């Protein structure tokens, strides 16, 4: 069959796009999608203070959990594709709802989102499909946890089973601390999300984020990325949503990647198919490359943030067509994604105090313009009554730059950051240290 003709038919209309979410991730998706000439309008629901500076973008300030209102709005807009960014609406079944109303949706139904919304479910899934991961024990009472902690090897990683905005994972230093944090979680530290606690064997090695765009049966991979989870330089301090990233990751060799496809990605997709879960969206594999091979740390049912901001500028103009093909279950599996051979780096500017308490509402001054190879994606921002952009979250801006190598990409990102300011701005100076040849620890 002539695939070009088939492709043309599939893409007959891809003019109006909706993106659900309000972060840097959603803005970077919009930025990559607007490059495509077919696209006329992108609605971000609700978007943030920087969404409307992206070409073709308009924010719709409505609560997407209000399904009647959402439906009414969508029906008035002739929407061709809906992309759901964050995990909470996916876990709550927004994908199911929109599909039941005949929209084309990129983002799994709640059954597929369970890979992220229940860590213990995901672990049993991996065990069933023989996917390499760390050993684990599931507990739901303090007594049970005491028995397991005292009988298990140390150290253990403690995780709230449900969604906890990236804050539900602990790596305690002693058995007593392990017991203490387990008890706090079971007793309600994360509400319902901590009713079940997962105790995991601690494994070691570099971490990598892999993203598979799935159409329910086939998949294609985005370039790999490496996140920086900890708040402080030298990977110290509390876990965050991610303080910066780079892509692609040179530590992943071709043979390592093909091993990951064979041992992890394909068995995951096959197990989903076996369970009649039609996964149409991005499947995020958080991997650790251990001495005994790659292992899954976690699955997520959405693009990583800030990995998404880092990867999007590398995408070809047809990226939106590929998302659409996933939504309608029509991927070939060999589509081209990359637009260039450049590399990309992202540094997050956060509010002082994040990931714990921080203030919001500070005006942001930008003395640097975006240009080719420099994007400033807004993460936690909004506009005040006078239309001025102010801080409105823990992670405020994602500064993303591309270059022929990581030194030039990150040098540019840090140069841009010198020209951006708000009260309490904080960013790590060592993002990309793994790949910067001229990186100096004392910068």
Residues that bind ligand GLY (CB under 6 A): 166, 227, 241-242, 300, 304-305, 307
The answer to the question of residue 152 lying near ligand AMP (CB under 6 A) is no
Among 33-41, 83-91, 199-207, 348-356, which window interacts with ligand AMP (CB under 6 A)? 199-207
Q: Which helix (H) or strand (E) holds 284?
A: strand 280-290
The answer to the question of residue 166 lying near ligand AMP (CB under 6 A) is yes
The answer to the question of residue 297 lying near ligand AMP (CB under 6 A) is yes
> For ligand GLY, which is the closer residue by CB, 200 or 307?
307
Under a CB-based contact definition with an 8 Å cutoff, are residues 92 and 65 in contact?
A: yes
> For ligand AMP, which is the closer residue by CB, 166 or 237?
166
- Report the alpha-carbon distance of residue 161 to residue 168 in Å, rounded: 8
The answer to the question of residue 229 lying near ligand AMP (CB under 6 A) is yes
**203-306-236 Cα angle (round to 5):** 45
> For ligand AMP, which is the closer residue by CB, 208 or 413?
208
Residue appearing with tokens 């709005």: 73
Q: Cβ 13 to ligand AMP, closest distance in Å?
A: 38
The answer to the question of residue 202 lying near ligand AMP (CB under 6 A) is yes
Contact partner at residue 239 from ligand GLY, ligand AMP, none, CB < 5 to 8 Å by partner kind = ligand AMP
Q: Cβ 272 to ligand GLY, closest distance in Å?
A: 20
- Report the alpha-carbon distance of residue 76 to residue 144 in Å, rounded: 53
Across the chain, how many H-helices and E-strands are there?
14, 25
> Residue 406 is encoded by which pair of tokens?
């990581």
Give 280: exposed, middle or buried? Use CB within 10 Å, 0-12, 13-18, 19+: buried
Please state, as a whole number, how many other Cβ atoms lie within 10 Å of the Cβ of residue 102.
7
Please state, as a whole number, how many other Cβ atoms lie within 10 Å of the Cβ of residue 262.
10
Q: Number of C-alpha atoms within 13 angstroms, CB side, residue 5?
A: 2
Q: Which of residues 232-271 bind ligand AMP (CB under 6 A)?
A: 239
Contact partner at residue 157 from ligand GLY, ligand AMP, none, CB < 5 to 8 Å by partner kind = ligand AMP
Q: Cβ 241 to ligand GLY, closest distance in Å?
A: 6
> In this chain, which of 60, 203, 221, 328 binds ligand AMP, going by CB under 6 A?
203
Q: Would you tell me which residues interact with ligand AMP (CB under 6 A)? A: 134, 157, 166, 169, 200, 202-203, 207, 229, 239, 286, 297-298
């Amino acid at each position: 069959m002539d695939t070009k003709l088939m492709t043309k038919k599939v893409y007959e209309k891809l003019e109006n796009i909706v993106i659900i979410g309000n972060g840097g991730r959603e803005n970077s998706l919009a930025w990559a999608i607007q490059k495509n000439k077919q696209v006329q309008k992108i609605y971000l629901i609700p978007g943030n203070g920087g969404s409307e500076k992206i070409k073709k973008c308009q924010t719709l300030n409505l609560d997407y959990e209000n399904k009647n209102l959402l439906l009414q709005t969508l029906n008035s807009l002739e929407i061709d594709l809906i992309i759901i960014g964050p995990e909470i609406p996916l876990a709550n079944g927004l994908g199911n709802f929109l599909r039941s109303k005949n929209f084309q949706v990129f983002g799994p139904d709640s059954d597929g989102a369970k890979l992220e919304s229940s860590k213990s479910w995901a672990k049993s899934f991996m065990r069933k499909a023989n996917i390499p991961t760390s050993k684990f024990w599931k507990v739901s009472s303090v007594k049970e946890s005491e028995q397991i902690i005292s009988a298990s090897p140390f150290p253990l990683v403690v995780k709230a089973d449900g969604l906890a905005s990236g804050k539900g994972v602990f790596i305690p230093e002693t058995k007593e601390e392990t017991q203490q944090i387990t008890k706090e979680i079971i007793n309600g530290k994360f509400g319902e999300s901590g009713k079940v606690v997962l105790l995991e064997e601690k494994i070691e090695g570099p971490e990598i984020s892999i993203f598979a765009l799935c159409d329910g049966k086939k998949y294609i991979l985005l370039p790999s990325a490496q996140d920086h989870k900890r708040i402080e330089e030298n990977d110290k301090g509390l876990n965050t949503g991610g303080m910066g990233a780079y892509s692609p990751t040179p530590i992943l060799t071709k043979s390592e990647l093909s091993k990951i496809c064979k041992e992890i990605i394909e068995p995951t997709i096959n197990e989903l198919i076996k369970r009649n879960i039609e996964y149409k969206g991005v499947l995020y594999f958080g991997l650790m490359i251990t001495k005994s091979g790659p292992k899954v740390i976690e699955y997520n049912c959405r693009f990583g943030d800030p990995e998404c901001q880092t990867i999007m500028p590398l995408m070809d103009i047809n990226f939106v067509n590929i998302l659409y093909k996933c939504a309608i279950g029509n991927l070939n599996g060999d589509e081209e994604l990359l637009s260039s051979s450049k590399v990309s780096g992202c540094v997050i500017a956060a509010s002082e105090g994040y990931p714990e308490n921080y203030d919001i509402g500070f005006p942001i001054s930008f003395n640097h313009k975006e240009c080719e190879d420099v994007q400033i994606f807004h993460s936690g921002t909004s506009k005040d009554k006078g239309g001025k952009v102010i801080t409105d979250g823990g992670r405020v801006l994602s500064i993303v730059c591309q270059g022929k190598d990581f030194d030039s990409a990150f040098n540019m990102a840090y140069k841009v950051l010198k020209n951006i300011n708000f009260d309490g701005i904080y960013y790590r100076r060592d993002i990309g240290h793994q790949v910067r040849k001229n990186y100096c620890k004392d910068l």
